[in-house]
Amino acid sequence: MNKQTILVTGATGAQGGSVAKALLAQDQFNVRMLTRNASSAKAKQLQQMGAEVVEGDLDNKQSLLDAMKDCYGVFGVTNFWEHFQNEYQQGINLIDAVKASGIQHFVYSSLPSYRKLSMGKYAVPHCDIKADLEQYARSLEIPSTFVHVAFYYENFLTFFPLQDDGNSNLFFGFPQGDTKLAAVSVEDCGAVVAGIFNHPKEYVGRKVGIGGDDKSCAEYAAILSRELGRRVYFRHINRDTYAAMDFPGAEELANMFEVQRLHISNRLLHLIESNALNPAMQSFEQWVRMNKAALEEVIPAPLAEETVY
């Protein structure tokens, strides 16, 4: 039987890479991946795993139309943190190309509108833009499913590495307070998306939250303490203090955590659905165990021989 083809955008990155690998592993669809650079190591690796690699750019709609030729499905992810406000136009290009190509199942990695959740009080462009794009795809009546991916566990390796508090104890801090923070290993998202592609009748028109755990930051810190053998704690930093910090995106992230703290009490239903689609979803504890060495590489070494508890 001839397999149908799914175009995976962002396949050299975290989400798209996970989707491409999961689709290749289940072998129900041909995988075509979009990249701006077909000769990168990641593109070559996926090619060796069986993906067809095509060059294209979300800034260039014709390249997207070419990439979608004869495709059944498309997985779409847009990257705010590289393109900022231009994410919106790139998403429009993607969605217009999906519509013009007659794609039968579009899975777009969207997020809730934090502007709406906070009744206009806080702007969180990396979420609000995706919510607007979700709305745009719905307005074009594209057969779509929207996945809302939780905070990556991998952020502890990249954006939010544990910090030393000066007493050889480790902490992480932001304005999340005691409210549960849904989180996930981005590596587990792919099998959820593959499951969605396998069940179009059930999932077209729906929104699916992808999460692997839903705990308070204090609970995540306790897991890190236990697994790393060093005291790790969560420090609540209030929204205004965090927004004034000197790093790019500080205000945006301050608003994101503040809206979550105030308006998203839990995402338990997302966990239930994610686990139904991918029974191998990792809890945070499982992920920390599997990634202990990588975490240890990014945490500051203790100042003294003995950890201060």
Given the rule CB under 6 A, which residues bind ligand NAP?
Answer: 9-16, 34-37, 40, 57-59, 77-82, 90, 126, 149, 151-152, 155
Structure tokens at 131: 């919510």
Nearest residue to the partner ligand NAP, using Cβ: 13
Identify residue 195 by its one-letter amino acid code: G
Cβ 84 to ligand NAP shortest distance, Å: 10
**First and final C-alpha spacing in the chain:** 62
Nearer Cβ to ligand NAP (80/284): 80
Cβ 1 to ligand NAP shortest distance, Å: 30
Q: 36: exposed, middle or buried (C-beta count within 10 Å: 0-12, 13-18, 19+)?
A: middle
Structure tokens at 280: 């191998």
Cβ 69 to ligand NAP shortest distance, Å: 17
Nearest to 206 by CA among 161, 284, 143, 120: 143
Nearer Cβ to ligand NAP (154/231): 154
Structure tokens at 154: 């991998």
Nearer Cβ to ligand NAP (40/62): 40
Nearer Cβ to ligand NAP (76/168): 76
How far is residue 26's CA from residue 190's CA, in Å, rounded to a whole number? 11
Cβ 285 to ligand NAP shortest distance, Å: 18
Apex CA 90: angle with CA 74 and CA 87, to 5°? Answer: 115
Mark out the alpha helices in the chain (DSSP H runs): 14-26, 41-48, 61-67, 80-83, 86-100, 114-117, 125-139, 189-198, 200-203, 217-228, 239-243, 250-263, 268-277, 284-290, 292-298
Cβ 249 to ligand NAP shortest distance, Å: 10
Nearer Cβ to ligand NAP (84/171): 84
Cβ 297 to ligand NAP shortest distance, Å: 19
How far is residue 272's CA from residue 275's CA, in Å, rounded to a whole number? 5
Nearer Cβ to ligand NAP (187/230): 187
